[in-house]
Structures are given as C-alpha cells and as structure tokens.
Structure 1
Amino acid sequence: MPPDSPTPRVAPWWVERAENLLSSKDERTLDLGSLWELFERFAFVQENVEPDLLLLDVQARPELQALWDAVEARAYSVTEALDAAGDDVVQQLRTGDLVAAGFRDRWEGLGFTEAAGRASTAADDWLDGLLRISRITTGQNRPPFGQVNMASRAQRISDFLSITSPGQHDTIYDLGCGNGKFAITVAASSAARVKGVEYGQEYVDSARRNGERFALRNLEFIHADVRDVDLSDGTAFYLYFPFWGEVAHAVARMLGDVARARDITVYASGPRHDYGEHFLEQVSQGALCLAPQRLDFADVMVLRSADASRRA
C-alpha cells in the first residue's frame, strides 16, 4: 500500500453479526424454539451496542445507519413471530386442547442435546421462548445467602418429573423459584399442585405475570423468606442451589422435620460445600436417606424420608 494511502477503517464488531442475522431464515418458517434462539441473537446485538458508540460508527460510516435500521426492523418482526407462537401454545393450554401429558411430551420430545456453540438445548429453547425467560437473570439485588437467578435446565426438570412422578395428590415446592421456569413447566406438565417460593420481589412479580398467562389453577407463587413458609403439606421439594450458608442450613433442617412426619422427596442440586452438607447432616441425623448418585446428574442429591418403609 502506498505511504499516502488512507488507512482502511475497521468495521465495528456488530456489523458482521448484523449482516449474519439479516441473512437468517424467514421467521415465518421457524418454530418456537428456533424463534427464541434468533430473538436472543438479535437481543445480544441490540443490548451491547451503546447508543453513543453507534452514533460515532454512523458518523464515520453513514451507510451503517441503514444496516442498524434493518436490524431493528427485523428484530421487531422476530419478536412478533415469537409472541404469536407462544400465544398459540398458551391458548391451547388455557382451553384444554393441550393437556398436561401432551405439554410434557412436546418439550421433552425436542431433546436435551446441546447445540453446537450454544449452552442450550432444543427443549430449553422451546420452554424459554414460551416463557420468555433467559437462562441467567442479572441486575437484580441478591438477598444475603442468595444466588443470581439461573433458570433450570429442561433435562433437570424432566429428571425431577421422572423421579417423583407427581400426581393430583402431590404438592411440589420450588424453593428459590426465581422467574418460575421450573414451577410453571411442572404445573403445566402434571396434575400436582406447585408452589414457588421466592424472596426477591422482582422475580416473584415476573413469575406471577408469566403464570397468569397460562391460567394454571395448580400453580401459586409465594413472596416470602423460605424460612417463614409452612412446608408441611409438601410431598416433593426442588432446589436449584438457590441459597447457601445459614439459609441452606435452616431449610435443610425444616425439610428434615417434614421428612420425619411424612414421606417426601428432596431434589437438591448444587455443591456439597456450604449447601449439600446441610442436607447430608439430615441424613446423618436419620431424617433423610440419600439415593445413589447418577453420572448424568452428579451435582444432584435425591433424598427421601428415612422412615418411609416403616410408615408404608
């Protein structure tokens, strides 16, 4: 290149992503899960291009304004298609055209194999698109001993349903339910009563709004410190590492007390240190017994009432 030639401008990082997005499949041909995957890709670009920097990009290369306008227009179209696909499923649930067993078959049948380059599965994309719940929710205050909300993976929800086989006489507690993916999915997939307990007000508000869309009579969200909730009617309890330390210790002790009074199943996922150890303490005290560990779910402890056989 001659010394007096101008230095080529490097395209902003978002340009290639935007061009790839605009060349993606027509949203009218995509199913719910594929629409969610495309929606998230558009959202990533829109949320990570700062307005001030975009203005500078356009000033340097005016033709980029048309590209950005096209991205926003297509993102709006994808959002509309996602809403329509989700509303169709919601309507089927509300009218009874889609029963619990059929709903479960629909998302489980999509499979749990992670897509290349994405920490997601077809079943998760379908559920997350239906519920409009991202896997990780940040930007909200965490209570002491609480965790950042992470939506449960579809395979874990499926495993819980297979282990507990909940029916109309069961009451399931999702302790630290966050935005409600597990609770809503289980309530729509079974006849059991499902209660989600959450300390964060914003999470509870979001979960309730989502739950109201489906008009599920077997679903309830409780805004409370889990230590203040009466869990005595529960038959199965789900915990996706929602808290640690003093709260985890108190909850494990509460579940131990319930296990001494009735037959329950506890599905607790998380590290052993400062979380799982509190449940294992209830095993050593004779309230719970621990099922054998499974390779596919190495971080999951399945615990049941130790006196179940005696009460049978």
Structure 2
Amino acid sequence: MPEPNRALVTGLLRRQIIDLWNDGRLDTVDRYYAPDVIDHMPVPGQTNSRAAMKQVVADFRAAIPDLRMRLLGTIACGELGVDFWTLTGTHRGALFGIPASNKLVRFSGIDMIRVANGQIVELWHVEEILQFLDQIGSSQTAFGAPVGDVASIAPPTPITNPGQRARHPDPRLLSDRERRILSIAKEHIEQIWARGDAAAAYRLYAPDVVDHMPAPGQRPGIPGIVDVLGWLREAVPDLAMTIEDYVVEGDLAADRWVMRGTHTGAPLMGVPARGNRFEINGMDVIRVRDDFMISDVWHVEEFASLRRQIMA
C-alpha cells in the first residue's frame, strides 16, 4: 500500500484532539479510526472497538465537562505519527471509580498512531494519570529521594542494544538534518535512560534545557534530570528498557519504550522496596536546536501503574 504522507498523518493527529476530545464529536471515531483499530493501551475494561473508544471519550467528558486539550505539537513520518498535549478542566464527575472532587486538574499526555488506508489502525497513548490523582487528592506522590540525598549513580547498565528491535523511520523520508536528529534521539533514550549514563546528559542537553513534565521535587535544568536518573537507578538497580519506535519530523523526535525492573533499592514514590517487579510504558518528545543540543523535553510514563505494581 502507498505510504501515508505527513499531511494526512498530521491531519488525523490534529482532528482526534480537536474534533473528538475537545468538541466531543463521537461520530468522528467512525471516520478517523479503522473498524478493527487496536488500542494497545486501553483503560481497564476497554475492548478494542470503535464503540469502546467512543465510550471512553464520553466518560472523560462527562467527568470533566469543561475539558480542553491544548495540542502542543505533532510529529509525522511515514505511517507513524505522534501528538503531545496538555488537558485542563474541572473534575465534576466520577472517573476511574473516583467520585467528583470539583477540583481543577491539569495533566499531559503523548499519543502515537499508525495510519493505513487513510485511517488510524493502531494507537498507543500514555497520560499523566498519577498527576491527575494527586491533584484531586486521591494520592500524594514524592517521586524519589529529596534533592541532596541522591547518592552516586550506579555504573551504566550493561545492555547490549536497548533499541535493537525499535521501528525506525525510512531514511529516505528524512532530510540530512532529520537523520542527525534521529541519531541524537537514539542516544538520548538509549544512552542516558536505558543505560544510565549520566555523563551523556551533560553532552546532549543544552545548559538551559527545559523539562516540561518534571517529577515532583525535580530541580530545573540538567541537574534535575540527573536527579531523576539517580532516583530510578538507586531504587531499581536492574532497571532495563526496550525501545519500540522512533518518529522524527523537523526539529522534533519521539520515542516509545517499555521499562522493566525490580524495586529492591531506595524508596520510590514514597514506597519502601518490597522486591516487586514492574513493567510500564512511556513516550518522550525532544526538540533539538540548530546547534544540535536538546533544548526541550516532554515525557509521559505510566507512573500510576508503577506505583500500584511496587505496592502490591
């Protein structure tokens, strides 16, 4: 089949945010999504069907009737596309079994889609559900050790190739600059986060890098990012990541990954180590400046799921 062009994929990314989520036009599900669409990260109890997708949107909009998603950006290349956004609204109805708190909420998310025959056939998405729960008072999370208590980071994990099975953009679809940005994106997730190489953070990030989705208690700039790297490695010495996808367009690059490990070290999210294993999904978006330094980072992880798994 012919490969979708960037305009088609970008249009679908924008329309699912504007028409479906912001305007609540459930009929657009039948237009934008294939009949056999697969949602790889459904909410509990959700089946893979257009009807189930409509119900999820209806449930969110009923619980947050003034829901507005601000689309922060899109990335499209080949059959894959990524959007990243921030949702705001008032929690006025039950959601995830939690009764209305009438509190203002603000959380972000990243979506990835695969397009075929003009429709979305696969969907991956991660949202900051933990931040939502914290904001409505259902939980209160401190991510890792207090600033200043981070011990020296363990040596990088000896992972041979965390991106070995990752799906990459067709190089023929990329400009020379985009190919270089892809190499930076790969080093960012595979070297810093999958292997735990803190030195790479100072090589890849601009000194004034902005983490748009910081962890609770995270300091600004590179020191704060290294803090989080240290918190994770101290809490989960066997932490490992598998990179699944890369998408690049212009000065933006995105990745999708799976993280696994055993909580045997320092407390994490206020939870003492109980030796529980976990597996979570996450996505990242980076912006690369003209000097090929990373200036901005957006990232979303299934931290609510992580906390449930390490508390089990």
Q: Same fold (TM over 0.5)?
A: no
User: Which structure shows the higher strand fraction?
Assistant: 2
TM-score w.r.t. the length of structure 1 is: 0.24
- Of structures 1 and 2, the larger Rg is shown by 1
